[in-house]
A and B are shown apart, each in its own frame.
Chain A
């Protein structure tokens, strides 16, 4: 009697869960993101430092013109598992690559003698500077659309790095019958509802939405110092990986700690279970 109740409950729970997972759709009518085959996915995933460096270069040379990353500091680039981590310079503030990269940027500051607003060369302690002084200026410079900050973009979108990679490689000619407004572009991976702009069969509204960003990448646009072929596909994957790192720089530490914690807890559970059975051995229950 008791057993069948438990079984029934378990079945009910499992059925509900199965329904839940089966009916999952891509967010907002967008196409489900492609799999970028990233090295950092899964419980034992790690970032590929070479990929992070290439991704940073793409961000630096293409994206940073419009997109800020203002929750990331230069010194983060030199932290463990980051793009410019080096065993020799374990303190990222002393990392020469980090210092050099920081010095390439101009950051806003105040002259301590005159009080005027000035710009100076960046230091590792500085945050990555924004290309615009504020949101209004960013909108004015981009036809009213605000290029979002990329610091946590991989956490802010379903699909994470796969979504970013798919979006960047997803630009294509809109299907005939789709009315595209001026200043926006069709992308099947972009969240949106195109029913209002579709003149075709209403049971087959195209997936995706309109994005204000024009296709930002082109083959060969960024030269990779390690000689990797610079295709749009490669650039997209690399910058998606870099954004994934920026969004979650502690991911590798987190997973490694997790393995240790789970092993410890499993061992602890085993010991405690034996202790429990020992204690209860002589009690009829």
Chain B
């Protein structure tokens, strides 16, 4: 399963007996106790552990909420308020679950940005990255389904907008939408099936997370220097996961929970939208339909393209492009710590991603710089969020499809250390073995 031999030695008769039949303690030991982990991991590496905790929190609170929630259009909204008022500690469980979703996405975005910066997606870790993209996609689906359940105005109209998007697929679009709705509009059948799927998907996520960690344990963790740790360096350059990283991850998780608690206890509705406390009304559309904040960048990309189906394609492509990232990056150096040119493009990418999120919440014809008149370019004012979103969307795709391949080939990376323990290279300009991504060996 992984490159290192198991160090587990059963200590009692029972452990020996169990190990021969189901080596689960061996598995726990090899994955979480004696697992050799690079000793130079920084705090950006704690987000995997944080994400696991987030998933467990969401599943546990979700199962508990499902004991009280009623997935029927006439009772959903009231059942959520009953949880808030009458169920013992219900307010806490509900706010943990709703804010937990936001925390989950904050953590996953940081985790993904870490992967981008340090080249964790590069060979031999392509499958880990792809599994991660699958997890991300499932998270988006789960979050969308979950937001519909309270049956507020945003729940309902958000569901209408997103399901209507599928209607733009040529030929089969309308049939798919009717099939998804279970009727001619978003209504009770839709709510019921969304509840069922929302309960199901987190367990699918948990399964893919298992694969993600399994795939990780084959090559072992990446590290900030970006070099592979050869077998003979293992003793010097790695430490066992327990207690070094169990405690470090534990500390990071507690700090994360502090931020989580600040939201849950002191500003639980800050990340939501007031309109979702208005019971759903199919006849009245809110003035300003917005998804939850973590979906705003994708919402922005969707609205940037004038054609409805084009927008859908662009939105899915913005996630799809992530899947092929390992093959888009031509760099021989993994970590952007040693790729100063690429680093600037990455920083701009982060700003663009935040910017797209901001744009997703604005009205497309609103002025970006208020009061400055401009001319009309094609279908909108230049000084409008419509065009700003288009510019940002363009950079988003150019970053992956043009910059990644191009800069990788043309840049001059900084000298990469020989090993984690010796950050100074012996011969200037030489690029030692292990810093290369395996990609160059292909074909």
State whether these chains interact: yes
Within 8 A of B (CB), among A56-86: 71-72, 76
**Chain B nearest CB: distance from A146 CB in Å?**
9
Which stretch in B136-144, B164-172, B258-266 binds the other chain?
Answer: B258-266
The answer to whether A285 touches B39 (Cβ under 8 A) is: yes
Within 8 A of A (CB), among B134-188: none
Closest to B42 in A: A2
The answer to whether B350 touches A9 (Cβ under 8 A) is: yes
- Complex formed: what's the CA distance from A13 to B258 in Å? 20
Known A5-B343, A191-B287, A249-B85; judge A273-B265 contact (CB<8 A). Answer: no
Q: Which of B243, B261, B337 contacts A265 (CB 8 A)?
A: B261
Which stretch in A155-163, A164-172, A181-189, A233-241 binds the other chain?
Answer: A155-163
The answer to whether B269 touches A155 (Cβ under 8 A) is: yes
Q: Within 8 Å CB of B275, what residues of A? A: 156
Q: How many residues of A contact B (CB 8 A)?
A: 49
Answer whether residue B277 sits at the interface, using C-beta atoms and an 8 A cutoff.
yes
Interface string of B69-85 (1 = CB under 8 A from A): 00000000010011011
Within 8 A of B (CB), among A198-256: 247, 249-250, 253-255
The answer to whether A272 touches B247 (Cβ under 8 A) is: yes
Answer whether residue A257 sits at the interface, using C-beta atoms and an 8 A cutoff.
yes
The answer to whether B81 touches A152 (Cβ under 8 A) is: yes
Answer whether residue B294 sits at the interface, using C-beta atoms and an 8 A cutoff.
no
Q: Which of A28, A157, A275 contacts B287 (CB 8 A)?
A: A28
Interface string of B347-362 (1 = CB under 8 A from A): 1001100110010000
The answer to whether A8 touches B347 (Cβ under 8 A) is: yes
Q: Which of A28, A156, A250, A253 contacts B278 (CB 8 A)?
A: A156
Q: Within 8 Å CB of A158, what residues of B? A: 274
**Chain A nearest CB: distance from B147 CB in Å?**
16
Q: How many residues of B contact A (CB 8 A)?
A: 47
- Complex formed: what's the CA distance from A9 to B117 in Å? 12
Chain A contact residues, majority secondary structure = helix
- Complex formed: what's the CA distance from A280 to B43 in Å? 14
- Complex formed: what's the CA distance from A62 to B317 in Å? 55
The answer to whether A250 touches B85 (Cβ under 8 A) is: yes
Q: Which of B40, B85, B265 contacts A285 (CB 8 A)?
A: B40
The answer to whether B354 touches A16 (Cβ under 8 A) is: yes
**Chain A nearest CB: distance from B246 CB in Å?**
9
Known A71-B78, A155-B274, A285-B39; judge A276-B247 contact (CB<8 A). Answer: yes
Q: Which of A1, A155, A191, A250 contacts B277 (CB 8 A)?
A: A155
Answer whether residue B28 sits at the interface, using C-beta atoms and an 8 A cutoff.
no
The answer to whether B254 touches A269 (Cβ under 8 A) is: yes
Within 8 A of B (CB), among A247-284: 247, 249-250, 253-255, 257-259, 261-262, 265-266, 268-269, 272-273, 275-276, 279-280, 283-284
**Chain B nearest CB: distance from A92 CB in Å?**
11
Answer whether residue B374 sits at the interface, using C-beta atoms and an 8 A cutoff.
no
Answer whether residue B248 sits at the interface, using C-beta atoms and an 8 A cutoff.
yes
Within 8 A of A (CB), among B241-259: 243-244, 247-248, 250-251, 254-255, 257-258
Instruction: List 14 interface pairs A-B (beta carbons < 8 Å), by A numbering.
Output: A1-B414, A2-B224, A8-B347, A12-B350, A16-B354, A20-B358, A250-B84, A254-B92, A258-B266, A265-B254, A266-B258, A272-B254, A283-B239, A285-B40
Residues of B within 8 A of A (CB): 39-40, 78, 81-82, 84-85, 91-92, 95, 224, 239, 243-244, 247-248, 250-251, 254-255, 257-258, 261-262, 264-266, 268-269, 274-275, 277-279, 287-288, 337, 340, 343, 347, 350-351, 354-355, 358, 414, 421
Q: A71-B82, A148-B278, A257-B92 are in contact. List 7 more A-B contacts (CB 8 A).
A: A13-B354, A16-B351, A71-B78, A155-B274, A250-B85, A275-B251, A276-B250
